[in-house]
Copies of this chain bind each other. A is one copy, B any other.
Amino acid sequence: MLKEERHRFILNEVGIHNRVLLTDIANLLDVSVDTVRRDIKELHNSKLLKKVHGGAISLGFNNYNPIGKTIYSLEEKSRIAEKCLSLIKEGQVILLSGGTTNLELAKRLPSKFKLTCFTPSLPIAVQLLTKSNIEVIFIGGRMSKDSQIAIGGSAINMLSEIKVDICFLGTNSLHPVEGLTEFDWEIVQMKKAMIHSSRKVVSPCISEKIGSLQRFKICDVEEIDVLITELEPWDVKLNAFKNMNIQLL
């Protein structure tokens, strides 16, 4: 294994988990701890991660994500992202809306997977461009400073011209009766357009968001094909969805 490969592996791990242990990496790559330590030292000197006692942690964290917001519920987002991955087949065309859960998914898409990804999200596009076999198409438009996604007429226009296999629709509020809702009207318009452009709509949703309600409505629950939470599908919290026409994952 080339040194450069180890470096990339480590950076990738740090990117996903925000931290790594020397011993874990050494086991995974089947090299000595010293080698990993020296690798991490180099990466530290190149300011690509921060070397700490016992391993390394990510510098980034606050780069693209609104500072402070994260870390909490990162576990859950990871679990959800992993489940999302299982729905994607090589060669498909997918659409990723914004949101941190989808960003986690983007990080985890394997480089060697051949995929076409549409997205209006800047941080997600940045992630995807590091993956060699993924074709990235940015849905352009006026950029929202908060959410870092493109919104407005031209974005919606561009969406109207595509039809993808799966849309992963970041979900902030999911109410069993009222459906999907949003705080921002512009984003509602985007999400409506995304649903319209997709054969299959997947809603990755942290369970704590279930039952919450915002000002504007995106769609009814029934328009979602798959609901993915960090819970097991038989969890009582998901009871409300069990006799609906939705796949729980």
A126 interfacial contact with B, CB 8 Å: yes
Quick one: which of A44-66 are within 8 Å of B by CB? 46-48, 50, 52-55, 57-58, 60-65
Q: Are B52 and A67 in contact (CB under 8 A)?
A: no
Q: Which residues of B contact A12 (CB under 8 A)?
A: 64
Q: Which residues of B contact A132 (CB under 8 A)?
A: 18, 58, 60-61, 145
Q: Are A4 and B125 in contact (CB under 8 A)?
A: no
Q: Are A52 and B19 in contact (CB under 8 A)?
A: no
Q: Which residues of B contact A189 (CB under 8 A)?
A: none
Number of copies: 2
Q: Are A140 and B150 in contact (CB under 8 A)?
A: yes
With A and B bound together, what is the CA distance between A143 and B226 in angstroms? 29
A137 interfacial contact with B, CB 8 Å: yes
Pick the most buried of A53, A112, A128, A143: most chain B CB atoms within 10 A of its CB. Answer: A143
A238 interfacial contact with B, CB 8 Å: no
Q: Which residues of B contact A140 (CB under 8 A)?
A: 120, 137-141, 150, 154-155, 158
Separation in Å of the A114 CB from the closest CB of chain B?
12
A86 interfacial contact with B, CB 8 Å: no
With A and B bound together, what is the CA distance between A47 and B65 in angstroms? 10
Q: A62-B130, A137-B154 are in contact. List 12 more A-B contacts (CB 8 A).
A: A2-B21, A2-B57, A8-B61, A8-B64, A46-B68, A48-B65, A48-B67, A122-B126, A135-B142, A137-B142, A138-B143, A140-B140
The residues of A with any CB-CB pair to B shorter than 8 Å are 2-5, 8, 11-12, 15, 18-19, 21, 46-48, 50, 52-55, 57-58, 60-65, 67-68, 111-112, 120, 122, 125-126, 128-132, 135-143, 145, 148, 150, 154-155, 158, 161
